[in-house]
Structure 1
Amino acid sequence: MPPSRCLASLFFIPALLFSAPLSPEEQKIVAYVDAHAADFARDLETAVNLDSATENHVGVRKVGELFGAQLEAAGFKSKFIDLGATTGRAGHLFAERTGMKGKRVLLIGHLDTVLPGGNFRREGNKAFGSGVNDIKGGDLVLTHALRALHGAGVLNDTQIIVMMTGDEEAVGSPQELARKDLWDAAKRSDVALSFETAIGNTATVARRGSMSWEIEVQGATGHSSGIFSASMGAGSVYEAARIVSEFYQELRKFDGLTSNPALIVGGTEVALDRTGGTTTGKTNITAQRTLIRGDLRTLSAEQLAQAQAKMREIVARNLPRTSAKITFNEGYPAMPDTPANRELLAQLDTVSRDLGFGEITAYDPKSRGAGDVAFISPPLPAIDGLGLRGNGAHAPAESADLESAPELVKRAAVLIYRLTR
């Protein structure tokens, strides 16, 4: 290596490897978090024990009131935005501080959970319960970070919006109404931070998009002894099995794409909704109708279009005397990896190093689900995965690492502080 390049490298390495001292204000933020660290588990228990499954509108509102009170204690004005009956969802928590200092920051969480709550328990530094990491733990990282900033006296004249949606786990329809308030908040912001579950020492700069699909299969019905014949054909269940099997063979060829047939019912008379279904029939009757519901997760809009075309192609080539149609529902867009998101990640990495917590790297979007942040990034620079560490989201054994809470609160608080200078 030429001497000039060696010299440049020597000057460059310290900037990458060594942390800078915290400012006096940042030291106050850290001290506040340490002084109130014990509050986190107590607040998490309170939040988890409120059942706020997406369909429980009363519970979603109660959790909104809980977090709204915490934000008001940090000097925010909060309100619950009622979506009414139109979307089939409860609504959103909106809170704001207005000012002119630094960047205008949008902080994103959500109030709803997949499974019903009311089941918090603790084993040492591990907490269990519905939403304990997805996302009530993350919501508390958000609110505790803001409380630390308020306690350190550094929130004055800052412009910060907090948006906690009440339907992240199942977005209301139509989307233009269910996500209008989030889009409006984004228009008045310069940067967004989202508090879905933290995964190790990473943050999320890109996420896959997600949408659900439904297939209805029709076939001839009659005595089962006639199946395979020219008059009876294959029946709806065999046709459904063909479709699902070909999805498995063809869709897994796409890099980073997944498609999951989650629910299927077949028989003489069938019904299927978002969480369950019913069927009637007998073993000596060929199934007339089969219904399938599933999801599709893709890395980009282009990949989504390609996958949809392939799925329609598969559904269209039917077995004898059967027909099938597929419907794609509204879903989450993909969040692309952008230079602006990478720059925000670099700022978080610097904060983490300065706090003594080490390097933060980008998480692989192939392993990350969809999230609200994708609705507003782009255009906003954004990162996600700033919430509480944990495992088992969307499952009865969901858990969270309470020991990680002070570190994650400090990291979020100092990042928000630096963005708003």
Structure 2
Amino acid sequence: MMRLKGSDVSMASSNWFDSQTILDGIRRWVEIETPTDTPEQVNKLVSLVADHYRDLPATIERVAGVDGCGDHLVVRSTWGQDQPGILVLSHLDTVHPMGFIERLPFRIEGDSAFGPGIYDMKGGAYIAHHAFRALCATADRSPLGITHMFTSDEEIGSPTSRALIEQEGRKAKYVLVTEPARDGGKIVTGRKGVGRFEVFIRGVPAHAGTRPEDGRSAIRELANVIQALEGMNDLKRGVTVNVGVVRGGTRPNVTPEEAYAEVDLRVPSFADAEEFVGKILGLKSKTDGVTVEVTGDLNRPPYEKSNSGAALFEHAKTLAAELGLELIDVHTGGGSDGNFTAAHTGTLDGLGVDGKGAHTHYEQLYISSLEPRARLLYRLYQTLQ
């Protein structure tokens, strides 16, 4: 399935993997703020990324954004597109709102470079591009074609890019995801499935002081629902259910007619997904005169470690050892676009930069991780076949 091209780990030029050169490129991407809900900003970065490929042996396809999201970019090497190849998945959107860069400007402190989205995941997206550019500078071409997809909506569950990811993922032989590394550089070989649900409750309003017996409280019923949902948590099985948003009622002296909640579900396996999705959708009212309606489903299937995924990791581990890195894999609770491909295509995630603070006011990458992580991607491009 995979083999190393001898023990040759030399690059086109060691200068290609100079950390400062790579960081300068990442800075340009970071300083264009790209909140998912600001498509004009995302598209500004999409245009810059597309420009980076115009002098390379690659074709560029720009997929127009829909439903308030930005465009997606699909870049394909001009070679190897007649057979299943390597699909690289990156996203350009971030969770930070516009103007957050005033609070978290690009800056360097010791081994850390700070900025909105620098760790999750502009750093990873950029080093994958940089590794491709380094590959194109050599006389050789990789055994397989390379397709790099940059999406605009991963941070909200990839609603407008999912079909495209699944389509390209089924055509690929391998999928490499440039989400950030975990816990000191660990590679991700499994992720929990993610479900999102909305709970709508309707009761009967009444004057809470003079006619309380006429009312049926939607909020009281929501409390019952919350207890049922919280009772589904099973940390030993890795199942978590979180009621993250609640609201209801109008005034303190009115028995509340309506209540609402938003729920997050995380499950490690497809069997768990089937069980707990069914339980959540099957919630019923315990109060006469009150209705409970639950809508939702999985928005990311579980990413279980498959035989092909395990073999891909072992190959990457061997390459990393040649570069002086010890590669360790981990299963994590967060979802990514790798969840959409892992069930049918060997997928390796967490190939981006090392750092910490994703989605926070101190988000940062470790500059020392740039060269080895970019070299690892380069070697994966060179040796996967």
TM-score (norm 2): 0.89
Among 169, 179, 187, the residue aligned to 2:162? 179
Counterpart AA for 1:251? N
SS in 1 for 2:196: strand
Distance 2:61 2:266 in 1: 33
Shift of 1:381: 0.8
Distance 1:264 1:30 in 2: 56
Shift of 1:295: 1.6
Shift of 1:30: 6.5
SS in 2 for 1:206: strand
What stretches of structure 1 of length at least 5 have no aligned partner? 1-18, 268-280
The residue that corresponds to 1:276 in the other structure is none
Shift of 1:105: 0.9
Among 167, 192, 197, the residue aligned to 1:213? 197
Shift of 1:75: 2.7
Distance 1:326 1:115 in 2: 30
The residue that corresponds to 1:3 in the other structure is none
Shift of 1:135: 1.0
- Check the 8 A contact 2:19/2:368 in 1, yes or no: no
Counterpart AA for 2:382? Y
Shift of 1:338: 0.6
The residue that corresponds to 2:308 in the other structure is 340
| CA RMSD after TM alignment | 2.5
Alignment length (residue pairs): 375
SS in 2 for 1:114: coil
Distance 1:350 1:301 in 2: 30
Counterpart AA for 2:251? K
The yes-or-no answer on 1:370 pairing with 2:326 is: no
Asked which structure has the greater CA Rg, the reply is: 1
The residue that corresponds to 2:94 in the other structure is 113
- Check the 8 A contact 1:77/1:96 in 2, yes or no: yes
Among 94, 105, 108, the residue aligned to 2:74? 94
112 and 89 in structure 1: CA distance in 2 versus 1, 3 angstrom threshold: same
Identity %: 22
Distance 1:399 1:201 in 2: 14
Q: What is the 5 A alignment of 1:8-407?
A: 22-23=7-8, 26-29=9-12, 31-34=14-17, 36-84=18-66, 87-100=67-80, 104-116=85-97, 119=101, 120-122=105-107, 123-155=109-141, 158-171=144-157, 173=159, 178-199=161-182, 200-225=184-209, 230-233=213-216, 235-252=217-234, 255-267=237-249, 281-313=250-282, 315-329=283-297, 331-358=299-326, 360-364=327-331, 367-407=332-372
Distance 2:369 2:275 in 1: 41
Distance 1:336 1:72 in 2: 37
155 and 70 in structure 1: CA distance in 2 versus 1, 3 angstrom threshold: farther
SS in 2 for 1:250: coil
SS in 2 for 1:58: helix
Distance 2:298 2:281 in 1: 17
**1:95-137 Cα deviation digits (max 9, x unpaired):** 0113249971111101111223561322232122221111111
